[in-house]
Amino acid sequence: MIRYALFCRDCDAEFEAWFASSGAYDSQAAKGLVTCPHCDGAKVDKQIMAPALSGTKSKSDPDPQRVFGKLAAAARQHVADNFDYVGDGFASEAKAMHYGETDSRAIWGETTADERSELKDEGVAAEPLPEAFTPDKPVDPKKLN
């Protein structure tokens, strides 16, 4: 997951958004799917960002599962706060937007394995949210694909 600071050229608003990768942002922006939460304009650009650098080196590396868990929780919370929840109608709603039958908007919901396969086969841009976990219940890496 990558977080970008974004800028809307239509209303001069600044906001942040999470993407699966820099390529995911580029693909969504090219299709006009990255829109401003203030004015719904699609003239959105990435802002210049400086990397976060630590002034001192840590004595030990952080636990990768704990770090991933925090990122996964933050990503899931961002989606819950900013996207429309469509429940088990996600696949049909995503297809309708993909084929121009309804206006595009940020959505999230539930799918079956068969629905995920159909979305992928039809080229519908959709990615699973990272599974939330606790230290006593690690993530199964097979479920992340």
Per-domain boundaries in the chain = 2-46, 64-144
* Cα 128 from Cα 17, distance rounded (Å): 16
Instruction: Say which residue the tokens 């999230």 belong to.
Output: 108
* Cα 95 from Cα 102, distance rounded (Å): 9
pLDDT above 50 for 145:
no
Task: Determine the pLDDT at residue 97.
Answer: 93
Summarize pLDDT for 75-91 with one digit per residue, the tens: 888 888 889 999 999 99
SS3 85: strand
Summarize pLDDT for 92-123 with one digit per residue, the tens: 999 999 999 999 999 999 999 899 999 999 99
* Cα 71 from Cα 75, distance rounded (Å): 6
* Sign of the four-CA dihedral 55, 57, 62, 68: positive
Summarize pLDDT for 5-58 with one digit per residue, the tens: 898 888 988 888 888 888 888 888 888 899 999 998 889 888 876 565 556 555
